[in-house]
């Protein structure tokens, strides 16, 4: 069974450590090995692309040493160890990883700790340590797709945690930090090998999703082959490594318009301004082909910031109804300046783009 419709699949499981991942309290001198069931759950959820993080009480150096000695460090993409509220630690982890709190789960042996997290963060799903071995059976831990990228997701987010730590130590301002990353985005047509990841993105991404439409692999395959559609993917890399496929744009070529039916961007690159970079590229690409950039937008509680981003990129409301906005770029007005901290590489141009429409 997969997650029920309307219930976000868990993207990150945050673990308490003492008496949850292992039997004992490290700071009290114990040297406990991890529970077998915990190791099996760590491995199986990681295989499905679900991240692991830690939010535990104790001294950071002592806990980190224990994790290292038992070869557990590599399972976790973020670690918060201290004496503050667990809810605050969970919130910091979600923010650092750029994922919504409604996609975070928390497991702890202490009912008081679970109650504190549930009270402060009611969207976070909480589980008792006794359930650890059964978590892979639950619907919310069963994503619809397990792609090649999903099985490597932990590495991508570990690199993101390193970026987060580097940014915390960077003292010259946010824009200077972005400039220092040497970001490169490649935008190219989707290939057969990309379709499962592209479909996964439509299901997983809510915050930076223009219409909320979802496409299965067969639908994307048909659209990517259709002369009146473009299915473009965006990848991103920087000096810390590769982010993988992080963006998708589905465009219909209608008369002299290039109509953006769906544009989405992984929330883990939201802080890099990647949405703005992709939008500017799509607008320039449509104009170069002699088409007017048009976009559909369906407002939700989660995607308000994307509408602001689209307006800053040059899209203006031209019509629509109660459920959908129609946006377009005025060909008579100069385009806003594209973000300068990311270099864009354009992939092969589909045949439908090569000639201007009649």
CB atoms within 10 A of CB 56: 25
pLDDT (0 to 100) of residue 206: 66
45 in any annotated domain: yes
Range of the domain at 79: 12-151
Residues 145 and 24 in one domain: yes
Percent of the chain residues topping a pLDDT of 70: 93
User: Do 220 and 110 reside in the same domain of the chain?
Assistant: no
| Alpha carbon distance 190, 303 (integer Å) | 24
User: Do 45 and 111 have their domain in common?
Assistant: yes
Q: What is the CATH number of the domain that holds 224?
A: 3.40.630.30
Q: Answer yes or no: is pLDDT of 353 > 60.
A: no
* Tens digits of residue pLDDT in 286-312: 999 999 999 999 988 788 888 999 999
Query: Residue 327 and residue 315: Cα distance in Å, rounded?
Result: 6
Cβ atoms 15, 72 nearer than 8 A: no
Statement to judge: residues 137 and 206 lie in one domain = no
344 and 201 in one domain? yes
Whether residue 171 lies inside any domain: the answer is: no
Each residue of 90-121: b (16+ CB within 10 Å) or e?
Answer: bbbbbebbbbbbbbbbbbbbbeebbebbeeeb
77, 203, 100, 8: CA torsion to nearest 10: -100
Overall number of domains in the chain: 2
Low-confidence winner among 30-39, 205-214, 229-238 (lowest mean pLDDT): 205-214
Measured CA to CA in angstroms, residue 350 lies from 29, 36, 232, 347 at distances of: 63, 51, 10, 9
Are residues 189 and 146 part of one domain? no
Lowest mean pLDDT among 117-131, 133-147, 222-236, 278-292: 133-147
Q: With a cut of 50, say whether residue 117 has pLDDT above it.
A: yes
Q: Are residues 62 and 192 in the same domain?
A: no
pTM of the model: 0.64
Sheet holding 292-297, edge to edge: 315-320, 325-329, 292-297, 257-265, 241-254, 229-238, 183-189, 342-346
State the CATH number of the domain containing residue 60: 3.40.50.1000
């Amino acid at each position: 069974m997969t997650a029920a419709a309307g219930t976000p699949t868990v993207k990150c499981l945050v673990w308490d450590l003492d008496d949850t991942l292992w039997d004992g309290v490290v700071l009290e001198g114990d040297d406990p090995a991890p529970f077998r069931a915990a190791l099996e759950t760590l491995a199986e959820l990681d295989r499905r692309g679900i991240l692991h993080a830690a939010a535990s009480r104790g001294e950071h150096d002592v806990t980190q040493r224990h994790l290292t000695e038992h070869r557990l460090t590599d399972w976790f993409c973020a670690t918060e160890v201290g004496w503050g509220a667990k809810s605050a630690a969970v919130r910091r982890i979600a923010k650092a990883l750029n994922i919504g709190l409604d996609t975070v789960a928390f497991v702890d042996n202490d009912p008081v700790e679970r109650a504190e997290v549930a009270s402060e963060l009611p969207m976070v799903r909480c589980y008792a340590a006794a359930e650890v071995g059964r978590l892979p059976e639950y619907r919310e831990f069963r994503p619809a797709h397990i792609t090649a990228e999903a099985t490597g997701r932990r590495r991508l987010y570990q690199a993101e945690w390193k970026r987060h730590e580097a940014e915390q130590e960077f003292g010259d301002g946010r824009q200077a930090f972005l400039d220092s990353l040497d970001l490169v985005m490649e935008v190219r047509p989707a290939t057969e090998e990309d379709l499962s990841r592209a479909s996964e993105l439509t299901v997983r991404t809510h915050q930076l999703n223009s219409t909320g439409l979802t496409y299965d692999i067969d639908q994307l395959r048909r659209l990517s082959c259709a002369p009146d559609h473009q299915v473009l993917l965006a990848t991103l890399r920087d000096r810390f490594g590769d982010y993988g496929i992080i963006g998708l744009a589905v465009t219909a070529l209608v008369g002299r318009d290039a109509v953006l039916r769906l544009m989405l961007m992984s929330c883990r690159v939201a802080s890099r301004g990647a949405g703005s970079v992709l939008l500017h590229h799509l607008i320039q690409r449509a104009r170069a082909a002699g088409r007017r950039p048009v976009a559909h937008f369906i407002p939700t509680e989660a995607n308000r910031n994307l509408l602001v981003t689209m307006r800053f990129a040059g899209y203006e409301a031209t019509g629509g109804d109660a459920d959908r906005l129609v946006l377009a770029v005025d060909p008579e007005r100069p385009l806003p300046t594209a973000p300068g901290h990311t270099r864009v590489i354009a992939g092969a141009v589909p045949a439908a783009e090569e000639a201007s429409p009649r």
